[in-house]
């Protein structure tokens, strides 16, 4: 992860990762896209998405924090304090 990544760059990357996990075009995913309603994520998808975030941003995300993530905006809110 670039050390000078802005919050907007992180938000865009989280959207891209969600699109990759859902096998959709990244332009279809916005910060407010609901993983379960809009992208049809199931529990395995959420685990894999969390693992993608951990690898991409070189962080460890506790399960209890990841359980509350439903959108890329939620993911950013969870992730950003770990990057600061």
> Which of 25, 42, 67, 74 is the catalytic position?
42
- Report, in this order, helix, strand and coil percent for the chain, each rounded to 5: 60, 0, 40
Alpha-carbon distance of 39 to 82, in angstroms, equals 26
Identify whether 42 is a catalytic site residue.
yes
Active-site annotation, residues: 42
């Amino acid at each position: 992860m670039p050390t000078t990544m802005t919050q907007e760059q992180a938000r865009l990357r989280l959207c891209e990762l969600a699109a990759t996990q859902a096998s959709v075009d990244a332009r279809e995913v916005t910060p407010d896209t609901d993983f379960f309603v809009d992208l049809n994520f199931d529990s395995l998808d959420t685990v894999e998405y969390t693992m993608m975030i951990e690898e991409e941003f070189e962080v460890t995300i506790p399960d209890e924090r990841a359980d509350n993530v439903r959108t890329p905006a939620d993911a950013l809110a969870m992730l950003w304090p770990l990057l600061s």
